């Protein structure tokens, strides 16, 4: 899996960019678009089992990022 390589790239990325959060969000948006394209292609190919596994993984990922609750 490329996760170790991705972590290394992100580590270097963090050192290079002072506005890391903005760059990470932009990268996340690009990846979300790519995932959406892949999901559309999976639906066209009628691969229900794989799509179901991907849906479960994406559902778990959605809970990993939560907006900070405001102290209002």
Helical pair 20-45 and 48-62, crossing angle rounded to 10 deg = 160
For the chain, percent of residues with pLDDT exceeding 70: 68
Please state, as a whole number, how many other Cβ atoms lie within 10 Å of the Cβ of residue 70: 5
Q: Which two tokens stand for residue 68?
A: 């900070």
What is the reported pTM? 0.57
Comparing 4 with 50, which gets the higher pLDDT?
50
Q: How far apart are CA 33 and CA 37, in angstroms?
A: 6
Going by pLDDT thresholds of 50, 70 and 90, the confidence category of residue 14 is low
pLDDT at 49 over 90: no
């Amino acid at each position: 899996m490329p996760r170790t390589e991705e972590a290394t790239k992100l580590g270097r990325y963090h050192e290079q960019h002072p506005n890391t959060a903005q760059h990470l969000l932009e990268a996340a948006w690009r990846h979300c678009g790519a995932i959406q394209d892949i999901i559309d292609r999976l639906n066209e190919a009628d691969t229900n089992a794989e799509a179901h596994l991907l849906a479960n993984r994406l559902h778990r990922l959605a809970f990993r990022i939560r907006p900070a609750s405001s102290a209002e």
